[in-house]
Amino acid sequence: MKKLKTGVIGIGFIGAAHVEALRRIPGIEVVAIAHSSDAKAKAKGEELGVDRAFGDYRQLLAIKEIDAVHVCTPNHLHCPQTKDALAAGKHVICEKPLAVTVKEAQELVKLAESSGLVTAVHFNIRFYPLMAHIRAMIAGGELGEIYAVHGSYLQDWLFYDTDYNWRLEPEYSGESRAIADIGSHWMDLIEYLTGGKIGEVCADFATIHKIRKKPLKPLETFAGKLLKPEDYKDIPIGTEDYATVMLRFAGGARGVFTVSQVSAGRKNRLYFEIDGSKKSVAWESELPNQMWIGRRDGPNELLLRDPSLVHEDSRDLIGFPGGHNEGFPDTSKQLFKQFYAAVRSGGPSKDPRYPTFRHGLRELQLCDAILQSSKKRAWLPVKD
Ligand SMILES: NC(=O)c1ccc[n+]([C@@H]2O[C@H](COP(=O)([O-])OP(=O)(O)OC[C@H]3O[C@@H](n4cnc5c(N)ncnc54)[C@H](O)[C@@H]3O)[C@@H](O)[C@H]2O)c1
């Protein structure tokens, strides 16, 4: 098998997770990384055991033998770095959100599709194996007509007003925060599972901490000592800590979901319930190896992620036998396996489970309609 060579741009939380997942796939080699400065890149390279580490991602793109690039930087860099990577002839996996505006995402879809290169957005939650099982249940009519979809994506990492991150600044994150950051995962998953399209939205946003305290130096500088009031600067916050969105699907189903980054105790919990005319299903990401099946006229079930129990569409996404639990890192491994299989086959993936740049654009369109709806306090259609 020809070894495919890859580079990862932006080695924060998720960039390091990309490197680790890539190392679990035979025939892939991470040959370079790029980070925000030469010194930081060198330190990250040593930490991860990658020899070639650059402070400017263009140096990574200039390496001829690199086949593919993973863009894992803050949101505002996704579009320019992905454009440069495509122009350099690299296949690209871009983190979500694909861009910060619909216009940027449209441009990336156009460029990706005309390039003939393989591209993907890292909507990794689709790759929990039970998601493919639920998708197959719905496609096969097992749930009947879908009446309603409801759920949430809750986190607590921005609970205190002293919690700070680039995601709080629209210049880096875009005009929406919680919806773009985690709502995009929830909506991508629901449209993927149900095959339905969200046609109209009505949103209510809240900014719980209207002023946050930004540390005046990088947090590492303060390591080992408590921060004092003079170590912070007050910053006004305009993006949403919390949002609830009502949904009308094009096919008639109704829905509602809540996102929050200030829900104490909820570390990273995506939850949904899909109610159909025959059955309901429910799943949560913090217990990803099981799903609930609800019945009116019989006992409810708890189905475990076990290759012998799930739909065949889900089987190739399972790396370990039942009871040997899989989780978040396995989802990226499974997505990357599909991506690199497409690279080897010489063209875009035809797998219906695969998240393309069009899915990335779709999330930007949904986010835009939700943002406008929250401003106008009104139901709005989602524009394609
Ligand atoms: N799919 C998922 O589950 C998931 C999870 C987390 C984050 N994300 C996405 O990944 C992206 C990064 O998020 P994160 O949580 O890893 O953030 P992070 O802040 O931990 O990491 C981003 C890194 O990019 C580096 N960076 C900044 N400018 C750069 C440049 N010009 N070149 C190279 N590196 C640069 C920063 O120094 C930082 O270390 C975001 O877009 C986010 O939405 C996706």
pLDDT of residue 216: 87
Read off the pLDDT of each residue in 56-64 and give the average, rounded to a whole number: 98
One-letter identity of residue 318: I
pLDDT of residue 306: 98
Read off the pLDDT of each residue in 351-371 and give the average, rounded to a whole number: 97
Question: If pLDDT is split at 50, 70 and 90, which confidence band does 229 have?
Answer: confident
Give the Cα separation of 64 and 364 in Å (integer). Answer: 32
Burial 215-229, CB ≥16 within 10 A → b, else e: eeeeeeeeeeeeeee
Read off the pLDDT of each residue in 57-82 and give the average, rounded to a whole number: 98
Are 363 and 100 in contact by the 8 Å Cβ rule? The answer is no
Read off the pLDDT of each residue in 98-110 and give the average, rounded to a whole number: 98
Read off the pLDDT of each residue in 325-336 and give the average, rounded to a whole number: 98
Are 293 and 300 in contact by the 8 Å Cβ rule? The answer is yes
User: How far, in Å, is the centroid of ligand 1 from the Cα of 37?
Assistant: 14
For residue 96, the ligand 1 atom closest to its alpha carbon is 43
377: helix, strand or coil: coil
Question: If pLDDT is split at 50, 70 and 90, which confidence band does 313 have?
Answer: very high
User: How far, in Å, is the centroid of ligand 1 from the Cα of 89?
Assistant: 23
Task: Report residue 236: phi and psi, to 5°.
Answer: -70, 140
For residue 73, the ligand 1 atom closest to its alpha carbon is 24
Verify whether ligand 1 is closer than 6 Å to residue 74 (CB atom): yes
pLDDT of residue 53: 98
Provide the phi-psi class of 41: left if phi over 0, else alpha when psi is between -120 and 50, else beta.
alpha
84: helix, strand or coil: helix
Per-position DSSP letters for 258-284, written without gaps between them: EEES--TT-SSEEEEEEEESS-EEEEE
Which residues, 6 or more positions from 199, have their beta carbon under 8 angstroms from its beta carbon? 248, 249, 250, 381, 382
pLDDT of residue 92: 98
pLDDT of residue 226: 74
For residue 57, the ligand 1 atom closest to its alpha carbon is 32
For residue 166, the ligand 1 atom closest to its alpha carbon is 19
Read off the pLDDT of each residue in 258-275 and give the average, rounded to a whole number: 98
Task: Report residue 246: phi and psi, to 5°.
Answer: -85, 145
Read off the pLDDT of each residue in 221-229 and give the average, rounded to a whole number: 72
Verify whether ligand 1 is closer than 6 Å to residue 9 (CB atom): yes
User: How far, in Å, is the centroid of ligand 1 from the Cα of 14?
Assistant: 6
Verify whether ligand 1 is closer than 6 Å to residue 77 (CB atom): yes
Give the Cα separation of 375 and 371 in Å (integer). Answer: 6
Verify whether ligand 1 is closer than 6 Å to residue 36 (CB atom): yes
6: helix, strand or coil: strand
For residue 9, the ligand 1 atom closest to its alpha carbon is 33
Closest Cα to atom 29 of ligand 1: 36
Per-position DSSP letters for 139-186, written without gaps between them: HTTTT-SEEEEEEEEE--TT-STT---GGGSHHHH-S-SHIIIIIHHH
The string of pLDDT tens digits covering residues 203-220 is 999 999 999 999 888 776
Q: Write 58-63 long-range contacts (CB < 8 A, 24+).
A: 58/84, 59/34, 60/7, 60/9, 60/32, 60/33, 60/34, 61/7, 61/85, 61/88, 61/90, 62/88, 63/7, 63/31, 63/32
Q: Mind listing the domains of the chain with CATH numbers?
A: 4-124 (3.40.50.720), 126-323+360-381 (3.30.360.10)
Verify whether ligand 1 is closer than 6 Å to residue 61 (CB atom): no
User: How far, in Å, is the centroid of ligand 1 from the Cα of 164?
Assistant: 14
Question: If pLDDT is split at 50, 70 and 90, which confidence band does 349 have?
Answer: very high
Verify whether ligand 1 is closer than 6 Å to residue 124 (CB atom): yes
Verify whether ligand 1 is closer than 6 Å to residue 382 (CB atom): no
Verify whether ligand 1 is closer than 6 Å to residue 34 (CB atom): yes
Closest Cα to atom 7 of ligand 1: 14
pLDDT of residue 220: 66
One-letter identity of residue 262: V
β-strands 68-71, 4-9 pairing:
parallel
Are 119 and 112 in contact by the 8 Å Cβ rule? The answer is yes
pLDDT of residue 218: 75
Read off the pLDDT of each residue in 369-377 and give the average, rounded to a whole number: 98
246: helix, strand or coil: strand
Residue 224 pLDDT > 80? no
Give the Cα separation of 104 and 80 in Å (integer). Answer: 9
Closest Cα to atom 6 of ligand 1: 14
235: which 2 tokens? 């910053």
Residue 225 pLDDT > 80? no
- Number of alpha carbons in the 13 Å side-chain half-sphere of residue 175: 12
Verify whether ligand 1 is closer than 6 Å to residue 59 (CB atom): no
For residue 328, the ligand 1 atom closest to its alpha carbon is 3
Residue 223 pLDDT > 70? no
pLDDT of residue 318: 98
| 191 DSSP assignment | H
Give the Cα separation of 91 and 206 in Å (integer). Answer: 38
The reply to whether omega before 97 is within 30° of 0 (cis) is yes
Verify whether ligand 1 is closer than 6 Å to residue 331 (CB atom): no
pLDDT of residue 281: 99
Read off the pLDDT of each residue in 211-233 and give the average, rounded to a whole number: 80
Mean pLDDT for the chain overall: 96
Are 89 and 62 in contact by the 8 Å Cβ rule? The answer is no
User: How far, in Å, is the centroid of ligand 1 from the Cα of 331?
Assistant: 18
Residue 221 pLDDT > 80? no
The residue length of the chain stands at 384
Percent of the chain at pLDDT exceeding 70:
99
Question: If pLDDT is split at 50, 70 and 90, which confidence band does 1 have?
Answer: confident
Read off the pLDDT of each residue in 288-316 and give the average, rounded to a whole number: 97
User: How far, in Å, is the centroid of ligand 1 from the Cα of 2?
Assistant: 30
The string of pLDDT tens digits covering residues 156-207 is 999 999 999 999 999 999 999 999 999 999 999 999 999 999 999 999 999 9
Verify whether ligand 1 is closer than 6 Å to residue 334 (CB atom): no
Give the Å distances, CA to CA, from 140 to 133, 145, 190, 354: 10, 11, 16, 19
pLDDT of residue 361: 98
